[in-house]
Amino acid sequence: MKKIITLCVLLASVYALSACNTFHGFGKDVEHVGEKIQGK
């Protein structure tokens, strides 16, 4: 069970680190959607 938890944490860490570069783009997408909802 500990191996499974460790593996999941490791995979989540790798995914989070690889996604760091996409946070800026993701933020822009969310901002764009929010503006469309508000009708700006």
Longest dimension (CA), the chain: 50
Q: What's the pLDDT at 11?
A: 84
Q: Identify the domain containing residue 17 by its residue range.
A: 2-38
Q: What's the pLDDT at 29?
A: 74
Q: Which of 27, 9, 7, 6 is nearest to 17 (CA)?
A: 9
- d(Cα 28, Cα 10) in Å, to the nearest integer? 28
Q: Report pTM.
A: 0.44
Count structural domains, the chain.
1
Helix locations, the chain, DSSP H:
2-19, 23-38
Distances from the Cα of 11 to the Cαs of 4, 18, 22, 33, 37, in angstroms? Answer: 10, 11, 17, 29, 35
Residues 9-38: tens digit of each pLDDT: 988 877 766 666 566 666 777 777 778 787
